[in-house]
Amino acid sequence: MLTFANNPLLLYGLPLIGVPVLIHLINLLRHRRVQWAAMEFLLASQKKNSSWIRFKELLLLLLRMLAVAAVVLIVAQPRLWDELGRFFGGGKTQHIVLLDDSFSMADRWGDTSAFQEARQVVERLGQALADEPLDQTFTLLRFSRAGRGQDGSPPDLLQAQVNTDFGQRLKDVLRPMRPSQLASGPAPALEAIEQLLGEAKDEDRVVYVVSDFRANEWNDSEELPKILGRLDQSRVHLRLINCVDTAHPNLGIVDLQPAGGTQAAGVPLYFDVTVKNFGSNEAEGVSVLLQEDGQPRPALAIEKLAPGESETRRFAAFFPTAGEHVVAASLGTDTLATDNVRFTLVDLPVSAPVLLIDGAADSLNARYLAAALSPGGAVKTGLDPQIEPTSYLNQNQSLDKFAAIFLLDVDRLDPAAVKTLEEYVAGGGGLGFFMGDRCRAPFYNDKLYREGQGLFPLPLIAKTQLLVDRLERGADFEFTDHPIFKVFEGERNSYLSAVTIDWYFSSPKNWAPPADSSTKVIARLRNGAPLAVERKFGDGRVTAILTTAAPQWNNWSRNPSFVVAALELESYLAMRPALDANRAVGAPIELELDPAHYQPQVRLIAPADRRTDEPRGATDQAPALEGGTLAVTATSKEGETNLRASFPAAAKSGVYELQLTKTDNQPVIRHLAFNVQAAEGDLTTVGAAALAERLKGVRYEYAQANDFQWAAHEMAGSNLSEWILYLLVGLMLGEQALAYSASYHPGKEAVR
C-alpha cells in the first residue's frame, strides 16, 4: 500500500507535471520569426534529422515531466506499506513511549512542570500518529509501572492500534496521570520494553524515552548504555525527549531517623534530620518544620546551606505515651515538593526491658548494673532491668522483647542458651559482657569465642592484675572515639580519671582484632591491654567489658561516670536498625502474621493526601496501594503455618496504617512509614553532550520537549522520498545529457 504523508500537496502538485508541456506550448507561441535565405540547407538538415530530433525532444519532455513528478512526490512524502515497502525498510510500525513519572518529573517552573511537558509531548505524538492512516501500534509505559516488575502492572497502553480517534483516547489516558513518588529510573522500563519487543520482526520499532534525564540516573548507570545499545542493534529507533530545560534549585530532606538512645515512653528521644541542597546556589534561611504525631514543633533553622552540601541537625522529641509515634519533617515549597517531607516511625514501649543474667547467686554485678540503668525515683531512663540467673536462658523463650541483654560474671551456659543468644544477636539484638571471679577462660574461648566464629569478640587468658604504676598519674584506661564514650570527650569530664582498675581479664599478648572483621577495641588499659572490645554479629552488636560491673575488680561502679557509661552502652546495644523508618516508596508491603494470634484479614489505610503541592481534586490513578482489604494467604513452612500478607507497593510517602484483628477480635493497629528516595531529588540534568558521551556508539535522536515536532511520516513506514530523490538526481542528469545531446545547451561559440 502506498500512502502519502502530505496528501493535499500531492493533489495540488500533480498538475505541475503538465508544466513542461505548457512551457513547450508557450515556446511554440513565442517562436522567433526569422526571414531566412538559406532555407535550402535548413530543410535539408531538417529532413535528415527530423525523426531523431523529434524522438529526443519527446524523450526530453518526458524526462522533464518525470522530474517534476519526482519533486512533487518528494514533497508529498510517499510511504510504502507492503512487501515492496519492507524491501525499502518499512511496514508496520510500533511506537513505544516510555514516560518518566519518577518524582523528579514533578519539577515545577513557571506555570508548567516536567511531567506536564512530557504529557504534552506524548499527546502531540499521539495526535500526529492518529493523523496518519497507517498500520501503527502504540504502547505507553510509565517508568513507575516497569519498576514494579511483572506483578500485575501492565503498560497503560499495550500495542494499541492507532486509528483516527486515537489522539483523544491517548489524551483520556494521559489526563489523570501525575508524577509518582517513585524514583524509578529508565533501565527497568527499557528492559521491559526489550523483552516486549523481542527479536526484530518485519516492522519499524520506535522507542521514545520521554524523561528529564537526571544526571544521577544516566551518569552512574552502566546498564543503560548497554540496554540502549542492544535496542539500537535490534534496529529499534531511539528517540530521547528531554522535558526540562535546565536544572532547578531544590532542597530536600534526605534523612530522618532516631539518633539512638533508649526508645521508651516518657524518655526524650533524639532524631537526626538531614537537609541537602541539590541546587547550584547557596540556600539561606532554610526552615525545617517538625511534627510529632501531627502536632507542630518548633522549627529548625539552617542559616546557610552551600550548594551540593547537606546539613544534619539533631532534635529531641518527647512522647509520654507508649506505642507508635510519627515524626515528620518538612521544608517550604520549592520546585520539587515531593522530597520536602519525610516521616519516621518509632514504636515506644512503656519501658525497655533489659535482661541481666548474672552467674553469681547474689547477682551482685547485675544489681550494680541494674541500679545504673534504672536508678529509680524521679529519674526515668525508660529502662526496665530484669535480673535473671543463667537458667533463664534455657527456658526456650523469645528474647526479642529485650532491648539488650547483659551477661555478668557468667561461668558457663548450656549450648542451647548460647544458640538462643546467638540467634538473638544475629537478629539485631545487643549483648553486653561483664567479667567476674566466676568467669573461666576455657569456656569463653571454646564456647563463646570459637576462634572468632562465636559471640565473644576476643580470646581470654586469665584474670590479671593491673599493676600499680606509682609514677604514672594518668587514668587507668583510655577510650577511643566511640558512641559509648562520646559523652566523656572533653577535659571537663574528670570523673573517668578517678576510676581505678585493679583486675581485668587479659587476652593473649599478641592478639589484635583481625583486620577484616568488625571487631574493635574501644577502650584500653594504661598498659595497652584491651578493656572494652566490640564486634558485630549478624545484625546485632556484642560489647565485652573485661572487668566487673560491681566494685570487685575496680571502683568504677562507685564513680558517677559508670551510670552514664552503662546507659550509653545500653543505648548503643539497643540501637536496632530502624527498618520501618527506612522503607522506600515503591517497596512492597509484606508482613507475616502468626495464625495463633491474628485473624487472616488485613486492612491497609493509605496516608491521607497531606501534600498541598498537587492540584486539589487530582488523584494518582496509578494502581498504587490506596488502601483496601486483602485476604491473607496461608503459607506452610517447615511444618509451621504462617499468614503472609502482601500488598503490591506503596505509591506515596507517608504513614500507612495496617489494621489487624487478633483471634480474640481485638483490633491491632500497626503503622508503616514510607519515604521517597532522596537521591531522586537531585535535579541535575545529564545534558546532551554528556549523554552523547555516555551513549557513544548508540544511534539515537535527542530533542527538547519544546522542539519535538516530529511528524508521523518521519517515523512510520518506509519513506520513499530518499529513493525518489536519487531518481530525481538521475532524471536531472539524464535530462541535462539529453538536452546537451539535443543541442539545447549553448556551445562555446557565440549564440544568438
Partner 1 sequence: MPDSKRFLHPEAIKRIARLDLRARHIVEGFLSGSHRSPYFGQSIEFLQHREYVTGDDMRHIDWKVWAKQNRYYVKQYEEDTNLRCTLLVDVSGSMRYGSGPLNKYEYASTIAVSLAYLLLRQQDAVGCVPFDDAVRTTVPLRSKRNHLDSIIAALDVSQPKQKTDIYRILRHVAESYPRRGMVLLVSDLLVDRTGLIKGLQLLRRQGHDVMVFHVMDDDELDFPFKGPTRFEGLEIPEHLSCNPRALREGYLAAVGAFLEEVRRGCARNTVDYALVRTSESLDAVLASYLNRRLGMHHRN
Residues that bind partner 1 (CB under 8 A): 27-28, 30-46, 48-49, 53, 56-57, 742-744, 746, 749-752
DSSP bridge pairs for 258: 271
Task: Find the shortest distance in angstroms from Cβ 15 to partner 1.
Answer: 24
Q: How far is the CB of 733 from partner 1 (least distance, A)?
A: 20
Q: At which residue does the C-alpha cell 551513549 appear?
A: 695
Among residues 513, 548, 287, the alpha carbon closest in space to that of 408 is found at 548
Per DSSP, the residues of 513-546 read --TTSS-EEEEEETTS-EEEEEEEETTEEEEEES
Smallest distance from the beta carbon of 26 to partner 1, in angstroms? Answer: 10
Q: Is 102 exposed, middle or buried (0-12, 13-18, 19+ CB in 10 A)?
A: buried
Q: Cβ distance 678 to 340 under 8 Å?
A: no
- Check if the beta carbon of residue 677 is closer than 8 Å to that of residue 185: no
* Smallest distance, partner 1 to C-beta of residue 54, A: 10
Query: Taking the complex as a whole, how short is the minimal distance between the CB of residue 742 and partner 1, in angstroms?
Result: 6
Edge-to-edge strand ranges of the sheet holding 520-525: 383-388, 352-358, 404-408, 430-434, 540-545, 530-537, 520-525, 477-479
Distance CA 692, CA 700 (A): 9
Q: Which is nearer to partner 1, 32 or 637 (CB)?
A: 32
- Partners of 252 in the beta sheet? 276
Shortest separation between residue 47's beta carbon and partner 1, angstroms: 9
Judged by beta carbon, residue 52 or residue 726, the one nearer partner 1 is 52
Q: Which is nearer to partner 1, 48 or 201 (CB)?
A: 48
Q: Select 629 or 743, whichever has its Cβ closest to partner 1.
A: 743
The smaller minimum CB distance to partner 1, of residues 56 and 611, is found at 56
Question: Cell digits for 570?
Answer: 545500653
Rounded-to-integer distance, Cα 738 and Cα 727, Å: 16
Q: Which is nearer to partner 1, 34 or 361 (CB)?
A: 34
Q: Toward partner 1, which CB reaches closer, 27 or 612?
A: 27
Of 39 and 669, which CB lies nearer to partner 1 in the complex structure? 39
DSSP run (H or E) holding 418: helix 415-426
Give all strands (DSSP E) within 308-382, no chain letters.
Answer: 310-318, 323-330, 341-348, 352-358
Please report how close the Cβ of residue 17 comes to partner 1 at its closest, in angstroms.
21
Instruction: With beta carbons less than 8 A apart as the criterion, state whether 240 and 701 touch.
Output: yes
> Cα dist. 368→449, 514, 550 in Å?
26, 33, 6
Minimal distance, residue 65 CB to partner 1, in Å: 18
| C-alpha span between 428 and 541 (Å, rounded) | 7
Nearer Cβ to partner 1, position 23 or 306?
A: 23
* Residue 680, C-beta contacts closer than 8 angstroms, at least 6 positions apart: 102, 103, 104, 183, 214, 216, 338, 339
- Shortest distance (Å) from residue 74 CB to partner 1: 30
Please report how close the Cβ of residue 64 comes to partner 1 at its closest, in angstroms: 14
Sort residue 294 into left (φ over 0), alpha (ψ -120 to 50) or beta.
left
Residue 348: CB atoms within 10 Å: 21
Nearer to partner 1, 24 or 662 (CB): 24
The nearest distance, CB 701 to partner 1, in angstroms, is 50
Which residue's entry shows cell 569465642?
449
Of the two residues 608 and 750, which places its CB atom closer to partner 1 in the complex?
Answer: 750
Asked if residue 146 lies in contact with residue 189, where contact means CB atoms within 8 angstroms, the answer is yes
